[in-house]
Amino acid sequence: MKTRFFRYIADLRFAIFILLLIAICSIIGTVIEQDQPIETYKLNYPITAPVFGIFSWDFILKFELDHVYKTWWFIALIILFGTSLLTCTLLQQFPSLKVARRCQFLRRPTQFRRLNLSTKLEYLNLNQFLLRIKRNKYLIFQQKNMLYCYKGLIGRIAPIVVHLSMILILMGTVISSLVGFKAQEIIPKTEIFHIQNIVGSGQFTNIPKLSNRINDFWITYSKNNSVNQFYSDISTLNDNGKEIARQTIYVNSPSKYNGVTYYQSDWNLLALRIKNELGQVSQYPLVPLLNKQDKLWVSWIPLTSDLNQGLTILINNLEGYLSVYNNEGTFLGNLELNERNQFLKSFTLADIICATGLQIKVDPGIKIVYTGFGLLMISSVISYITYSQFWIIKNNNNIFVGGVTTRATYEFELEFSKLIK
């Protein structure tokens, strides 16, 4: 019963069925937004009008469709599919490779009728024929009047490597979903922060207790004043606050420390610091004026104690200047850092407080996944190697020659014709 069970698991039809279930679940996880607040699902999937007549917010939360790729049933499907690949490899692929390595002599001329290519020759210089076969990189085995030749055995390894690569990819995916996590942080310049704002984590995630400091943050601009790149200078601190690692990151160039990866993802402006003529510094908050992609902030600087008179400040960059408007919305001019102007005579722009946006990620399975994809590419190359076989029997004055191949049939027919010519 055990053998029958494992052979059922290793069956191609069973593997395709499980793969189809995984594909359907992946489609659901792509269509339905993942890891969103409950209010998002209540708004987009109301009970009174469920999507496709079934997907309401209570149905989504009940079956955990808001985090499909971390559910026990999705991970169980992946493990079951990996088990199917492993049993297929052990019960079918390895025995098939073992058989291919054996010397499989044909002992009767009637057996040649089952071959793709076969012929009977009344005369053939066998020594010259074997020399030509050897020049074509065939391995030759002889037993009395029977000969067996093959080449391209490595091509038979390709299915095993494919299964191994897929198992590694599935294994890395499961490890990442169970142990990895992702966090988003917005940190002002010069501030110390800890990993707190977790946006996604697994059942066995252990958040590292690391202290980090944003030493500096700056932006470079292109000639047309569009953002070219933004940078963050990050330090990792030990329990005593001493710096143990430091690196400058930017988009597509993250920092890594002890398995934790820091990506540069966003930036923000928080406040303006204005210095009066007495040297006193006041801080005024900046509020995003438009959506997050437009990067435009506004602030209000009162000029009178009753707050009826003041200036509206607009800023969209870190180049050190801002635009100033009066109560009527009339543009007064631009104000630069450490500059006094006629419309702000008693005040100086001392500083622009900014913050960097970081995505912090731990993905312990990513190396396993990359290894799996690397093996998958190697197996694709190996699969192009043709496994070809020749059989020869010398029976009195007749010589029977036949052969088969796994692919490239036309090239094999040409090779067969040249060898017996």
> DSSP code of 304?
S
Among 49-58, 120-129, 135-144, 309-318, name the one with the lowest average pLDDT: 120-129
CB-CB contact of 335 with 349 (8 Å): yes
Q: From 173, 170, 175, 202, select the one nearest 19 (Cα to Cα).
A: 170
Distance CA 84, CA 7 (A): 9
Handedness of CA 97, 103, 106, 112 (dihedral sign): positive
d(CA 154, CA 387): 8
- CA 144 to CA 127: how far, in whole Å? 15
State the distance between the two ends of the chain, measured CA to CA, in whole angstroms: 54
Segments making up each domain of the chain, as ranges: 2-96, 103-152+386-420, 166-268+357-374, 274-347
pLDDT band at 333 (very low <50, low <70, confident <90, very high): confident
Give the pLDDT score at 343. 63
Rounded Cα gap, residues 298 and 290, in angstroms: 10
Alpha-carbon span 192 to 243, nearest angstrom: 12
The whole-model pTM stands at: 0.72
pLDDT digits over 80-101, tens only? 999 999 998 888 888 888 877 7
pLDDT at 342: 61
Structurally, what CATH architecture does the domain formed by 103-152+386-420 represent? 2-Layer Sandwich (3.30)
List Cβ neighbours of 343 (8 Å cut-off, separation of 6 or more): 311, 324, 326, 332, 333
As a whole number of angstroms, the distance between CA 190 and CA 187 comes to 9
Give 158's contacts (C-beta < 8 A, 6+ positions apart).
Answer: 379, 380, 382, 383, 385
Q: Which residue has the higher pLDDT, 37 or 151?
A: 151
Residue 341 has pLDDT above 70, yes or no: no
pLDDT tens-digit profile of 104-149?
888 888 888 888 888 888 777 778 888 888 888 898 898 888 889 9
pLDDT interval class at 326 (50, 70, 90): confident
Q: pLDDT-based confidence at 167, cuts 50/70/90? A: very high
Q: What is the pLDDT of residue 358?
A: 94
Residues 6 or more apart whose Cβ sits within 8 Å of residue 279: none
pLDDT at 43: 87
Q: Is residue 1 over pLDDT 80? A: no
Mean pLDDT value across residues 288-294: 72
Residue 406 is predicted with a pLDDT of 85
Residue type (1 letter), 132? R
State whether residue 50 is helix, strand or coil.
Answer: coil
SS (H, E, C) 176-226: HHHHCEEEEEEEECCCEEECCCEEEECCCCCCCCCEEEEEEEEEEECCCCC
Give the per-residue pLDDT at 106: 86
Residues 343-374: pLDDT tens digits?
666 778 888 889 999 999 999 999 999 999 99
- How big, in percent rounded to 5, are the helix, strand and coil portions of the chain? 35, 35, 30
Average pLDDT, the chain: 86
pLDDT of residue 308: 78
- For the cut 70, the answer to whether the pLDDT of residue 203 exceeds it is yes
Instruction: Name residue 283's beta-bridge partners.
Output: 273
Helix axes 72-88, 12-31, angle to 10 degrees: 150
| 192: nearest Cα among 231, 236, 232 | 236
- Mean pLDDT score, 313-327: 85
Does the pLDDT value for residue 226 go beyond 80? no
pLDDT at 307 over 80: no
Chain mean position to CA 189: 31
Query: 121 with 352: CB under 8 angstroms?
Result: no
Are 147 and 112 contacting, i.e. CB atoms less than 8 angstroms apart? no
